[in-house]
Structure 1
């Protein structure tokens, strides 16, 4: 695929200019090489982006929703027309397979299209009056929104924040992760070409300590939407509390996957493999804790290990690849430390647990899909997010036991259940503390269905029709219809 990188400018309030911050190096971890170097945003760039957003937002917010929707439809169409370009840039930026990055680009196009439709069809409400007046509840833009997105699925994460925020009438200042800034700049170019007015979108690559903190603390930022690690989310929530500013946090996960003895084994194995090893395990919703009913534990685990060993680990541009490189060599070292910890905790490496021996992968950040047995749910490996292709498998006795173990974790993001007993599936789904539960499937998404977590997995929800309202403030309006002075105000 013949592609080149664009120049190293960033998008500051709708204008392409050289960043005045520290340089950011984009790596192609699959080959251990450098993609390009861009200059990140400085404090001056952030201030300039905010000033331009402040100037542009009022006229955008005053547009009729269907007029804003027209621009979002055009952005959707241009994303769909440029899927190959977007996929290539994102694969080079993250080392995800082209199969996955094409799907992520298509998802981003669908997100803009969906929220354009939501903007066109969302009604305000005439409430039931309780006197001689008309009462209404209306929604207005917040103003300036900061969106902070992670490196693992940038184009989809960007769209899930930018599209509803723009549809709601806001300006958006996006801070992408320093490991994956390039595809976010591609999205900015598409928005510009689609006719988004200048100032409404900025893409400001840089560190969280610099760019992120400036955005969160700035008095003109009315809301922050953050996807990333729990520790950073806590610090952000504290800063937001100081400002009494609304915040949405989509944080980490340590999601349980539950296999009952009556499951369709082939269906379960396929779903479990996809749930933990797709995206090379670099997913907040990864099903990283597997609970298998004791009566089938040995047989099921043996089959799962054999299926895992058959997965194709390879280059992201190879159509046969199922598990690609991790995003960065530093991240692989983090995954390796967790596997070493599992060994120290008494875990048995049932497969993987090492870098591939294939010399074609020696320069990349590859790590074999790994299954660990011999641990219980109290092990650190079972409690902390690894964010890599590492699965811990544990037995359980019955429904009550697995509910207790599944909920015995600080995270509450997702869960998978595998059983042919539909009533049991529904019972367990309602009993498990998680924002999303999949039954006999995993990692399936719809932009129309809200998504988020509980506990250390965050607060607030994205997606769905309510996703638009999350970027608006609600106002009540009363209009008197009696024409009479208020009886309290008596005078001679």
Structure 2
């Protein structure tokens, strides 16, 4: 069994508490690694290391082009180690090796993209209305950034925060979920190998209350970047406000995946499955509210149930497995509880609704892919983020009803639309209150395209050119080339 340490100042660091936590493999139900249990002392050490690296030493001497070169080198090293990192993530969170290998093969692109973007952030010369003045803007880094990462796709979501933060010139303290810390700790030595100076990238581990919140509240932290639930995001937002810190939050979702009767049914069924059963529904962008036009409702549900029956569950390390376990025991218990919630709400259980007893699922945290019909949008299973493989199917009659149901939520992260009408594609995309709308596809992301939500789904954007702005501040410079006039009035 591997016993990890934390990574601070380009070196391994034992936890100040002298304590470690067990990391469980959700497929076997057995402990497979020991993770350092950090606390406020460890958080302080990491932040001070990052602050020192930001203010002194080699990092602030590097220009943007040199920072970009380091990011591209890190991307190369991640690509070289992608197989090992993917396998580690599967042990930690039970997601499919086919998905995690794909993610780790793709993750390097974030470091290449932001490495290339680092020296292309330009200010502007302002044609100011004052005589004899040169006025221009420039964009500068914030300082120390605390990045708090969830358990569902750890290294991909690390890249979404780390790459733009470094490209902008900040230093970073990363805090992974207590359930999935191993892959980031395996990756940590690559930071030094890529050439990043000590203290530029640090990793501390442990529980949110013990090490995460001290990172949020630390006076030398300039920004907090968090991905997780909206309830936790609200607490972080409130704590960060006390220190007037910058915050970006990528939070929950209850996304509508809307299927019209003119859709390509085969594609739409696959898109519905991708939206809610892929990754065992453990995605903030999960299309957990499946809105189906009444004319095709029964046919669609029948095909969806058939897909649920045929899905192959089992060992997530095997490439032909299609549905793996829930990532951790608390989440597993939460998903199981929603089976009773749905039935108590009055929904009809069309399929699933139990833990799995299929071959190869007896030891792990497996639940059956579950489909509820007869759902209305007031039911808890239609309003609360479950973060599991539970589809709530809601019928609708026309576009306006679909929009009314789809937008009737506290969240606004994503939405899907399935139709062959170009007019409808445009109308629905324009009127859905979501940060991302997919048309005739679902669950597609790229380093080039902004990712983030409306309403309680978050603040700020990740990915694309907008992301690097989240990690910079604007400075206006005024240079006078003339004589100063009477000094007692506003210039």
TM-score above 0.5 = yes
Distance 1:330 1:246 in 2: 31
Question: 1:420 aligned to 2:420?
Answer: yes
CA drift at 1:406: 0.5
Distance 1:276 1:423 in 2: 27
2:23 corresponds, among 26, 36, 44, to 26
Distance 2:351 2:59 in 1: 55
Aligned-pair Cα RMSD in Å = 1.4
CA drift at 1:359: 4.5
CA displacement 1:187-231 (0-9 Å, x = unmatched) = 212112111111011111111111111111111000000000111
* Matching residue of 2:110: 111
Question: 1:156 aligned to 2:150?
Answer: no
* Matching residue of 1:11: 7
Aligned ranges for residues 215-226 of structure 1 at < 5 Å?
A: 215-226=215-226
Distance 2:469 2:61 in 1: 16
Distance 1:375 1:452 in 2: 27
CA drift at 1:487: 4.2
CA drift at 1:121: 2.1
Q: List gaps (5 residues or longer) in structure 2.
A: none
CA drift at 1:39: 2.1
* Matching residue of 1:40: 37
* Contact 1:137-1:475 within 8 A present in 2 as well: yes
Distance 2:8 2:84 in 1: 22
* Contact 1:13-1:48 within 8 A present in 2 as well: no
Distance 1:45 1:209 in 2: 13
Distance 1:7 1:303 in 2: 46
CA drift at 1:488: 4.6
CA drift at 1:7: 4.2
Distance 2:421 2:251 in 1: 32
C-alpha distance 293-425 of structure 1, shift in aligned 2 (>3 A):
same
* Matching residue of 2:63: 64
Question: 1:102 aligned to 2:101?
Answer: yes
* Contact 1:297-1:395 within 8 A present in 2 as well: yes
Distance 1:269 1:237 in 2: 38
C-alpha distance 115-442 of structure 1, shift in aligned 2 (>3 A):
same
CA displacement 1:259-296 (0-9 Å, x = unmatched) = 11111101111111111111111000000001111111
SS in 2 for 1:465: helix
- How many residues are treated as equivalent by the alignment? 485
* Contact 1:61-1:141 within 8 A present in 2 as well: no
SS in 1 for 2:213: helix
SS in 1 for 2:188: helix
Distance 2:62 2:134 in 1: 25
C-alpha distance 489-252 of structure 1, shift in aligned 2 (>3 A):
closer
Select between 176-185 and 116-125 the one with higher mean Cα deviation.
116-125
* Matching residue of 2:233: 233
SS in 2 for 1:361: coil
CA displacement 1:367-417 (0-9 Å, x = unmatched) = 111111122110001100000011010110111111000011101110000
* Matching residue of 2:435: 435
TM-score by length of 1: 0.96
* Matching residue of 1:79: 78
* Matching residue of 1:129: 128
SS in 1 for 2:322: coil
CA drift at 1:24: 1.6
* Contact 1:90-1:183 within 8 A present in 2 as well: yes
Q: List gaps (5 residues or longer) in structure 1.
A: none
Distance 1:386 1:138 in 2: 43
* Contact 2:2-2:33 within 8 A present in 1 as well: no
CA displacement 1:44-102 (0-9 Å, x = unmatched) = 22111122111111342342100101110100000001111101111111111111111
Distance 1:192 1:100 in 2: 27
Distance 1:13 1:306 in 2: 53
Distance 1:465 1:358 in 2: 45
CA drift at 1:485: 2.6
Distance 2:254 2:242 in 1: 29
